[in-house]
Structures are given as C-alpha cells and as structure tokens.
Chains A and B, each alone.
Chain A
C-alpha cells in the first residue's frame, strides 16, 4: 500500500508543484541576501546565509513557507485520504488491510514525506549557500552579541553549524507534524474545504500564540531553552493529541 501511495504521489502534478514550491522558496532568501551584500565587500557567513537563520529583511521567504506549511503538505501528500474517499478506493484499501493499518499508513507517510521534503529543501539550501557564500564571515553583528544568561545563544554563536543542524532537525520534525496534522484533518473531515480550513486554523493559532512555534525554526535568536523546550513540548502534545484522537475515532467509532 505504501508503494502504491508513493507511486500515486510521484505521478501527481499537484504534489510536484507543492514540492517545487517548498524547494524554491528558500532560494528567494539567497537572492535577497545577494542583493543585500551587493554594495559591500562583506560576504555572509554560510550559517547566517542559511534559510532558517532569516538574515534577510522582512523574513518574507520564511513567512511564506513556515506560516502556511500545512497547506503545502496537504497539497503534497496529506489530502490523499480525501481522494481515496472521493474515488471509493478507501473502502477497497480498508477491506484489504484493515482500518487501523490504513489510518496508520496515511499518517505515517504524511509525516515521513513532509519531514523528507523539508530536509531536502534545507539540505539543498545549505549546499547552495555553502558554495555561494564560501569563506564569508559577515554575521550582521550577531557573533559579537553577548547574552550571558542564554546558554543556547552562546552555544549557537560558538558552534554555528551544529546550531543550524539542530534547528534543521527540529524544523523537519515540525514539518512532519504539520503533515501529520493535515492527514489527521483529511481523515477526519474527508472534505478538502474543511480539512484545509481546520489544519490552517490549528497551525495558525500555534503561530499566533505567545510562544510561537515559529521560534523553533530560527537559530541565533534571543529565545533560550526556557522558551523553546516548553514550546516544542506543547506543539508536540497538541499535534499528537489530534492525531491520536483521529486515529481512535476512525478505528474504534467511525463505522463508515
């Protein structure tokens, strides 16, 4: 089932469009940074030119990608249960492998593909900035900052590559959760109109709240572990709770 699902995604132009957009948005950051350093002799440090660091003015590419992550992943993979429902393929699959496996497969594949898509986008971006900004040292003054009570910031400044690696893994994990949220909503509503709206609403409330999940995507910020750890735990709790609720409802109670 996993193979057929993957095959369907690989043959779907909509999924490819979404994948390409996720892959291309970080490149706008590079263009902005090149425009920024055009009139000076300074070259950005590769870790600070990395997409997640957000050194550009306005943070446009970051906003366009991170704020609407569930929408991209719904288009890519997570709204597949709705297509299954519309074509009737859902019932064939459920009668072949059972509802528990069906729901688990959909959720797992959404998580994995969203994780991998983000990983590919960030890896490609890192390779590109490493080539374009090779040997650069400009950090917009971040390296000179000294926030003594923030161990995470001090560690990030001392080990910038480890910092961006850790934040990249966290970002990929959050992307996986965004995909999981999308597939949970698709499995629950079985209607694109509701699934997209509900996924956006949950994700957006997590962005707008006081300790926003956006902080988890950006290294070299003033937010320390005291802010980031509760934020990631809360986000994980909310997204997993939704997924578990949908799983239990679909497997135990939903007889359709």
Chain B
C-alpha cells in the first residue's frame, strides 16, 4: 500500500505539472508579452482560467481527486464493521480518510504551483508579494473544498451502491454547480466563489475578515455534509 500511495503522489505530481505547464506556458516562456512580475503572477493564478482557476478546481481536478480517493486507502471488507464498537466510529474513520486524501491532493496542487513558480521567478520577488503564504492559505481552503466533494461522492456511492455511477453523478453535480454559479448566480455567494484567494489577494479586494469568512463558509459546508452523510451512513446496508 505504501508503494501504491507513493505512485499516486508521483502521478499527481506529473499530472499537476503537466497542467501547470500547459496553462502557464505563455507567461513563463514568451518574453514578448512584456508583463510585470505581479501581472504575470496574477494571470497565472487567475480565478477565471488557468491552473488555479475555479474552472480547473471544478472541472479539471474533480475526476483525479475521486480517482485518488478510490485508490489511496484499501477497500473496507464487510467484517471491518465488527472491529469498531459503534458504526459512528467507522464513519469518523471514513471521514478522516476523505480529509487526508483532500489534504494530500490540495497540497500536491499547491506544491507544484509553488515549485514551478519559484523555478521561473526569483524567491525574493515571490516573498515580497507573500506568494508562499497565500499559496498555503489557498491549499488549506482547497482541502476544505475537496473534503466536501469527497463527502458528496461518498453520499452518492452509498445511495447508488455503484462507484462508477457515484463518480458520474458527483462530476455532473460539481460541473453543473460551477456553471450555475458562473452563468446565473452573479452577485450572491456560492461555494466556489470562495476559491478565488489568489485573485483577491493580488487585487487587494479581500480583507482578513473576508478571508476568514471564506474559511468559515467552507468549513460549515463540510460540517453540513458531514452531518447529512452521517444520517445516510447510520442506515447503510453493508452486506447487500
């Protein structure tokens, strides 16, 4: 299992690196664009399109995350349920597994971004604009977002009892929600509007309070899904 996890992490690194270079090749290889350092960094981490955009979080990375979630831990056999005094304990364990995968996934995304950005820009310049801090903040928020996605996937999986249908429905839900927010919900809050930390930071739009609210909202969403899924889990039929 350790080898499998190491392979997953390496594949994630390769995948994120590929996406990073495909999305940012214009900014790092084409000097004729004549962008200032902050402009280039802001465009590379834009919330509209690119490696750290909401579109990428919702449409590019949802499938790799679910694949990662399916492979990172061993499948639980039916007898696993008797190892725990209460079903709730098993549920908490499953939740922790989702959180771990979300953290690994989000921080691999952040690590690749930080690694390749610092390869093409000087460390001092990046430190000056607090890029490393903001990347870390984004990583934490992303972990919360993918924890929600993982919980939705598990809900569908237990409802349909088919991982491929759950995979499909989660993808459809996240994709449709992204387009709903993009095309119809302009002004009011939506869960994906919080995932714009880089843009808000580089354009000085958010204060610390707004950053905090973004975390609180995402944490509340995870909390809500945790409770919703717990009702489902209490009634889960493990044998059939």
Chain A residues with CB under 8 Å of chain B are: 14, 17-18, 21, 32, 57-58, 60, 63-64, 67-68, 71-72, 74-75, 79, 192-193, 196-197, 200-201, 204-205, 208-210
Q: Are A197 and B67 in contact (CB under 8 A)?
A: yes
Would you list which residues of chain B between 1 and 58 have a CB under 8 Å from chain A?
A: 15, 18-19, 22
Flag if B18 contacts A205 (CB, 8 Å).
Answer: yes
B207: A residues at CB distance < 8 A: none
Partner pick for B183 among A60, A67, A205, CB 8 A cutoff: A60
Query: Residues of A contacting B163 with CB < 8 Å?
Result: 192-193
Write the chain B residue with the least CB distance to A67.
B59
Partner of A71, one of B70, B171, B182: B171
Residues of B participating in the A interface, judged by any CB pair closer than 8 Å: 15, 18-19, 22, 59-60, 63-64, 67, 70-71, 162-165, 167-168, 171-172, 175-176, 179, 182-183
Knowing A74-B164, A75-B168, A208-B22, the reply to whether A193 touches B70 (Cβ < 8 A) is yes
B19 to chain A, nearest CB (A): 7
Can you report 5 A-B residue pairs in the complex whose CB atoms are below 8 A from each other? Answer: A63-B175, A71-B63, A71-B168, A196-B164, A200-B63
- B70 contact set on A, CB distance < 8 A: 193, 197
Q: Which among A14, A63, A71 is the interface contact of B162 at CB below 8 angstroms?
A: A14
Nearest to A79 among chain B residues (CB) is B164
- Evaluate contact between A64 and B18: CB separation under 8 angstroms: no
User: From DSSP, what is the main secondary structure of chain A's interface residues?
Assistant: helix
Q: A21-B172, A208-B19 are in contact. Are A58 and B164 (CB under 8 A)?
A: no
**In the docked arrangement, what's the CA distance between A196 and B62, Å?**
13
Please report the C-alpha to C-alpha distance between residue A196 and residue B153 in the assembled complex, in whole angstroms.
15
**Minimum CB–CB distance for B190 against chain A, Å:** 15
| Interfacial chain A residues near B175, Cβ < 8 Å | 63-64, 68
Q: Which 3 A-B pairs have the closest CB atoms?
A: A60-B179, A197-B67, A192-B164
Give the docked Cα–Cα distance between A72 and B164 (Å).
10
> How many Å lie between the Cα of A79 and that of B168 in the bound state?
13
Residues of chain A within 8 A of B22, CB atoms compared:
208-210
- Nearest residue (CB) in A for B169 is A17
A193 contacts B171, C-beta separation under 8 Å: no
- Neighbouring A residues of B183 by C-beta, 8 Å: 32, 57-58, 60
**Cross-interface CB contact of A75 among B64, B165, B182, cutoff 8 Å:** B165
CA–CA, A57 to B164, complex, Å?
A: 30
Across-interface contacts of B18 in A (CB, < 8 A): 205, 208
Interface pair B172/A196, CB less than 8 Å apart: no
- Asked if A193 and B71 sit within 8 Å, CB to CB, the answer is yes
How far, in Å, is B149 (CB) from chain A's closest CB?
A: 15
Question: How far in angstroms is the closest Cβ of chain B from A236?
Answer: 21
Check if A64 sits within 8 Å of B176, measured CB to CB: yes
Please name the residue on chain A nearest to B63 by beta carbon: A200
Residues of A near B171 (CB, < 8 A) are 68, 71
The chain B residue sitting closest to A60, CB to CB, is B179
Alpha-carbon separation in the docked complex, A204 to B176 (Å) = 18
Q: Which residues of B contact A79 (CB under 8 A)?
A: 164
Give the chain B neighbours of A205 by CB distance below 8 A.
18
Contact of B179 among A64, A196, A201 (CB under 8 A): A64
- Residues of A near B59 (CB, < 8 A) are 63, 67
Q: How far is the CB of A210 from chain B (nearest CB, A)?
A: 8
Contact call B179/A200, Cβ cutoff below 8 A: no
10 further A-B contacts with Cβ under 8 Å, apart from A197-B64, A208-B60, are A14-B162, A58-B183, A60-B183, A64-B179, A72-B168, A193-B71, A196-B67, A196-B164, A204-B63, A208-B22
Residue of A nearest to B176 (CB): A64
Complex-state Cα separation, A153 to B165, whole angstroms: 40
Contacting residues, chain B, for A209 (C-beta < 8 A): 22
Q: Which residues of the partner chain A approach B15 to less than 8 Å between Cβ atoms? A: 201
- Which B residues are in CB contact (< 8 Å) with A67? 59
Report the nearest A residue to B55, measured CB to CB. Answer: A63
Interface centre among A17, A32, A63, A197 (most CB of B within 10 A): A197
CB distance from A220 to the nearest CB of B (A): 21
A161 to B165, alpha carbons, bound, how many Å?
A: 37
